[in-house]
Amino acid sequence: MTPSELKLAAAKAALAFVKPGAVLGVGSGSTVNAFISLLPTLPFKVTTAIAASRASEELLNAQGIAVADLNAIDRIGVYVDGADEIGPGLALIKGGGAALTREKIIAQASDQFVCIADVSKIVSAMGKFPLPVEVIPMARTHVASAIMALHSHTLSKWREGIITDNGNHLIDIHGLAISSAADAAALETALNQIPGVVSNGLFALRTADIAYIAAADGIRTLNP
């Protein structure tokens, strides 16, 4: 199976969670794009969605699906999103597409978080994929120094040329190896304490609730 076919297969598995009349949370990235492309195959029309990025919003709008302001929505039933790494306990690294902060807000506001990915995203230790941290632009250098003070063996690199949908910068932390969900939650909390950090790409305090992982031999279902 090609990478696109695997993404489509994982996306298809998440369609069962989409309910008529319910507000749908939609993440960001190529696997989510596959999911959005499948929404017209449902026997009903999704009327309202919350989107994690402008790119997803445009794709949803192109299908005639209204994208609401989260401030106007009480709770989201289900949130469907991809991941850059899926670690122990369904803790995730996200933000390769720079949408981590909105993704985290929507995950937190959702009753159920369904993660869709191909098997290459499963890891035993998280951090080979550099961990994104969204920062207020004026704090970028000081946040990078504070991260180095926390983890001296890591390297924090500014993702040059990228401005998030929130107008902020991104730092990617290279060289992490996080082997438990508890360690991921501790680092997520510690990074959040640095002034200037808006959010970080660890999803360990609010993990996915279920993951559909596409492999050549079929779909695997993972629970925390």
Q: State the residues that interact with ligand 5RP by CB under 6 A.
A: 27-31, 81-84, 94-100, 103
In whole angstroms, the minimum distance from the beta carbon of 97 to ligand 5RP comes to: 3
Q: Which is nearer to ligand 5RP, 109 or 148 (CB)?
A: 109
CB of 20 vs ligand 5RP, minimal distance in Å: 26
Of the residues 57, 58, 85, 103, only one is catalytic, namely 103
Pick the closer one to ligand 5RP by CB: 107 or 185.
107
User: Which of 83/114 has CB closer to ligand 5RP?
Assistant: 83
Amino acid at 104: K
| CA 165 – CA 177 distance, rounded (Å) | 28
Q: How far is the CB of 70 from ligand 5RP (least distance, A)?
A: 17
Min CB(217)–ligand 5RP separation in Å = 20
Q: Which H/E stretch holds residue 30?
A: helix 30-38
d(CA 171, CA 183): 20
Nearer to ligand 5RP, 27 or 196 (CB): 27
Per DSSP bridges, beta strands 169-174 and 155-158 are antiparallel
103 is catalytic: yes
Cβ-based burial of 137 (10 A; exposed 0-12, middle 13-18, buried ≥19): exposed
Q: What 3-state DSSP class applies to 88?
A: helix
Q: What is the dihedral of CA 100, 36, 111, 45, to 10 degrees?
A: 150
> Mind telling me the catalytic residues?
103
